[in-house]
Amino acid sequence: MIADTIQKQIIEALKARDEIRLSTLRMLSSALNYDRIAKQHVLSTEEELAVVNKEAKKRRDAIEIYDKAGEAARSAKEKKELAILKDYLPKELSGVELEEIVSSAVAESGGDFGRTMGLVMAKVKGRADGAKVARVVKGKLG
């Protein structure tokens, strides 16, 4: 389980005095605990990955905003946090793998965007960013 691993790594980050890693792991641990309390059961690995994905998406959005605003220092901090979060996520799909999944979903859905997105997102389960998937689907549909 991701939560158990994080607790061990928090201790390691404390000993190493790695402030950015420590704060990121504590934030992630807190997010997992909030979700566990909200759902009132121990989270499955899939539910834990959803929380990590949500936190990673927050970092990606913040990086984009800080880059547009010219806030290089804040953007760099968010990039470091995102790199730490990526350690807990499954390996991202390559462009070729994503293209193959989208092609089969387009054929299965008959070209409907919403249905295609649903099929693709169910298959990729956190291994591809939703915005990236939407771009590929739109490209395939015309």
Q: What is the pLDDT along the chain (142 residues), one digit of tens a residue?
A: 888 899 999 999 999 999 999 999 999 999 999 999 999 999 998 899 889 989 999 999 999 999 999 999 999 999 999 999 999 988 888 888 888 998 888 888 887 888 888 888 888 877 887 888 888 888 888 7
For residue 27, the surrounding DSSP H or E stretch is helix 19-39
pLDDT at site 106: 86
The verdict on domain 2-86 having CATH code 1.10.1510.10 is: yes
Decide if 3 contacts 29 (C-beta within 8 A). Answer: yes
Whole-number Å distance between alpha carbons of 21 and 13: 6
Decide if 109 contacts 115 (C-beta within 8 A). Answer: yes
pLDDT at site 72: 93
Query: CA nearest 136: which of 91, 83, 88, 100?
Result: 100
The verdict on domain 95-141 having CATH code 1.10.287 is: no
Read off the amino acid at residue 8: K
Query: CA nearest 85: which of 55, 47, 45, 124?
Result: 55
Structure tokens given for 83: 């790199």
pLDDT at site 129: 79
Domain residue ranges in the chain? 2-86, 95-141
pLDDT at site 90: 85
Whole-number Å distance between alpha carbons of 76 and 95: 26
Decide if 107 contacts 118 (C-beta within 8 A). Answer: no
pLDDT at site 71: 92
